[in-house]
Every structure is written in C-alpha cells, then in structure tokens.
Structure 1
C-alpha cells in the first residue's frame, strides 16, 4: 500500500504513430516541433529538500517526488533524485548534471527543485539560499544547453 497521494494509476500511454491523430499535424509542421525521440528521452534531476534546520519540514514532498519520478520514468527519462541539499550542494549538483556527457545522447533535460523559497529564491536545507534573478536565468539555461526563454517555475 502506498501513502495517500501516490498516483498509482498514473501511466503514460504509447500509441501506434500510424493511428495517432496528432501525427498529421506533426508531419505538416515537422520543422516547428522539437524532436524528442532519443532513448532515453533525456536526463531528469529532482532535488527534493524535505528537512530544514531553520524552517518546518516540507510534509508531502516525498509524495510529490515519487509521483514526478514515476511520471518522468514512464515518459522515458533517466531520473536521479538528490535529497536535502544545501544551496552550495544544489548549485554543485546542477553544474554536474549540466555537464554530464550523457546529455549528448538524449533529446532533452528536466530539472525539478522541490524546496522552500520565495518568488526569486530557493532555500537549502541549512537555511542558505540563492537567488534566481532574471539576469541569471539565461546563464543557467545556457549551462544546461537549453537556450533562452525555456525557464519554467511554479510557486
């Protein structure tokens, strides 16, 4: 039995491309669509900070992390999870992830950070934080090889 909140029936359906209704749209607009056909699709790093020295524990984050791991795994990503990192460790791990030579053999990359924070900052497990400013976003994206304009976050 899974803890409450685990999406047990979560599944990614694979369909025969010949019967897929979106296939015609893809064939007509092939040059406008980002190809994501490698196996694996890409690498996924999930940083999951649950315990903090100066903030309350993030209850439920283990469920979110499990659901994300299952989802991205079913979508064909190699998923790595790092737990309870300081800000320095988060930045170091993201740099290591960005420089992983396995990216050359894949089509995409996903980085998920589950932690305390505010609009423009992320908090590490010992209360340290780093700021995610508009002017630094392109540098992070360039490091990941993602280009400009692809930064997405949910608060």
Structure 2
C-alpha cells in the first residue's frame, strides 16, 4: 500500500525546512530523509484511533435533493482543513501533548474525506499569511475548516512562535472576507487560553469564569460592526446590512474556553477541547449535524474536571464558547461519502 503524505513546515529555527510525514495504515511516521524529528523522538506519536462511523448511503443521497435543508456535499475531497499547531519548542513554554492533537485531528478529518494542511511553529505574521493563502485556495471544496492551536491571552490574541501576537478577529476577518469561501460553510476552532483565570466547580472567588455566550458575538461585531449579534432577536431584519449577512452567514466559530479563562491540556493525551471534538465527531458525525455535534462536545467537556488538591487547578473545569450562523440549513459531514476510489 502506497502511503499518503502531509507536510509539516516550521517557522521555528529548530526545523530545517519542511518535514514530510508518511501515513501507513493509520500510523504517522517520520520520513527517514528528514533531518529533524517532529517531536524530538523521530516520529509523531499516534494512539490507536477508532475508525470514524460512516453515514448511511440513503441519508447522503437524500440530502442532495434538499438544498434548502442541507449544505450540499458533492466533491472529493469534500473540503480543506488547515491545522496550525504552535508547540513553542525550544522557547521555554512548550505545549506538551499538542502533537497528540495534531495526530487526532489529522486522522479524524482524513477519514472524513478532507484534504489537510498542517503547519507548526509559525510566527504571528506567518500565521496570518498562511491563513490568507489557505482561504484563497479552496477550489471546488465544499467545506472550509481552520484549527488554530497555540498559547493565547486576553482579547483573543493568539501567540505565534517568538512571541508575536495575532488577533483572532484578524483570522476571522480573513476567512469571512474571502470570495472563494462565499456561501460555503466555514468551521473555525481555537484551542488556546483566553486569559489566566481558572474555571472551577466552585462559584466563588476571583478565579472563577462564568459562561458568557455574548463574547463571540462581540468579536463578530468588531469584525462586522453593522448588524445584530448572532442569536439576538433585539434587532429587526431590516436593520441588517447586506455585508453583515454575507460575511457572517455559513460560519461556525468555537473557542476551547470562556473569555479570560485558561484552556486545559493533558501533556500526555492532548487538549481537552480537541480530544472531545475527535471523540464526538468520530462516533456521532454519521447521524448528527455539526451544530448538534458541538453541543455534544460541550456536554463532554462539562463532564471533565481536574483532581489536584492543593493546586490552582483543583476541581478545574472547562466550558467551550461557540456560535454558528447556519440558520435553518444543516451541515452534515457524511463520513464515507461521497465515495472515492483511489489507486
């Protein structure tokens, strides 16, 4: 069996040019010709991942005749995925376990039938540049997925390697402004801290973060100031600008955690948010649309907590922050369809 391959490119000086990763039967291994290891061990660690449950053919065929109810999925690959993972290797604050997230997301979206591009340790400038290039290269894809995994801080600033900063709203603006993505469903995930507070099971104390669903709407309003918040019924339809409607339509935006709070990551298993996405989408995408899947991710995260007596993380929990503008249309990923026969 011939391996498929991906390229991991690095903006960090530890990388000597692009690293090609070959994929054999679900295992990701380092190409022997590469001069640098991806995770310092010579290969990208990969757990065994359960195969994605495939959709039923009748459901896939049915959606084609219902364009008002479903986003049409007809191409193969069905979409493109950009994964940016800043590990900060050699910079003193390495994101241990993030390689598990890369591996998990690669396996998930590859099995879903997507084309995947992976970038690691990009500077803030190069992150913006790469997102722009990606947004302009969608071609015939039906769905666009962007996954940003990095350190972050208040005001939704994403750290690049060498500690530069890029605003999440800049990434959002690039994606929503791209002519090639107009009318296409766009999924944007941010795995990063949004502050230093810890969400806990206790409701008292300055370190507690409450769930605030208005923050994402405020972010969207910063990008597109004319129009109502997503989910708001306070503004009448005739108050919406055409620019706002066009740009915010067909969009799902999700952060791993609430504003001003930390996002949690297991150094051996990967981040809670990304691993919950992998788990839920693997088992449930065959029967449920993306909005329902993200509700399940939220529920899965709420079941997790840290047991670490005597530390700031004792009984820490994490609630994601998400919003969508799919309206009445449903986005089904239909794993296993359309069929593709590769030589």
* TM-score bracket for this pair, using the shorter chain length: 0.7 to 0.9
Contact preservation (8 Å) 2:85, 2:121: yes
The answer for the alignment partner of 1:66 in structure 2 is: 103
Gaps in structure 2 of 5+ consecutive residues: 1-26, 29-42, 187-246, 257-343
Is residue 132 of structure 1 aligned with residue 168 of structure 2? yes
The answer for the alignment partner of 1:75 in structure 2 is: 112
Point out the structure with max Rg over C-alpha: 2
What is the TM-score normalised by the length of structure 1?
0.79
The answer for the alignment partner of 1:8 in structure 2 is: 48
- Secondary structure at 1:153 match in 2: strand
What is the TM-score normalised by the length of structure 2?
0.38
Counterparts of 1:1-155 in structure 2, within 5 Å, are 6-18=46-58, 20=59, 26=63, 29-51=66-88, 56-100=93-137, 103-119=138-154, 120-133=156-169, 137-143=172-178, 145=181, 146=186, 147-149=247-249, 150-155=251-256
The CA deviation at 1:65 is 0.6
- Secondary structure at 1:39 match in 2: coil
The CA deviation at 1:52 is 5.6
Deviations along 1:96-151, one digit per CA (max 9) or x if unpaired, are 11111xx2211111111110002511100110001224x98345322262541514
- Secondary structure at 1:94 match in 2: helix
Gaps in structure 1 of 5+ consecutive residues: none
